[in-house]
Amino acid sequence: MPGALAVLAALRPHKTLALATSSYEHSALAVLETLDIKDTFSCIATKTSAARAKPFPDIFLWVASRLNVAPAQCLVLEDAEKGILAAHAAGMRSIAIPNEHTKHNDFSKATLVLPSLEHLTLDVIEGVDKK
């Protein structure tokens, strides 16, 4: 996702970051290690971390449990409808950031929809945190 590395660098000093991906662990870790961002995340969940995949909330609830955080305190950033549905089902707020392949998805369950990561700032996140 264009701008992802800059967003991670900007948020890391202020927020606890976790990754919940539908990818297999070996694939996800390979990407994170190649980009040298594995240590950016306090928790990494992959396809095998939860019994059911998105749009079920299992992976997000697993992460919240591991971080010892209530789901209502979590904010999910997602680029696909299934992830937004999973976040909503988990009782988490969400920001949808569609990409070229998901721009026609239904993001009506998202707390906020942004056109790109360039629009995601700490102020935007803190505004969503107050909702």
Specify whether the CB–CB gap between 92 and 76 falls below 8 A. yes
How would you write 71-102 as a 3-class SS string?
A: HHHCEEEECCHHHHHHHHHHCCEEEECCCCCC
Q: By residue range, what is the domain housing residue 117?
A: 4-129
CATH number, domain containing residue 56? 3.40.50.1000
| Rounded distance between C-alpha atoms, residue 70 and residue 119, angstroms | 26
Q: Given pLDDT bands bounded at 50, 70 and 90, which one contains residue 131? A: low
- pLDDT value of residue 39: 96
- pLDDT value of residue 2: 78
pLDDT tens, position by position, 16-65:
999 999 999 999 999 999 999 999 999 999 999 999 999 999 999 999 99
pTM: 0.94
How many structural domains compose the chain?
1
In the predicted model, is pLDDT for residue 130 greater than 80? Answer: no
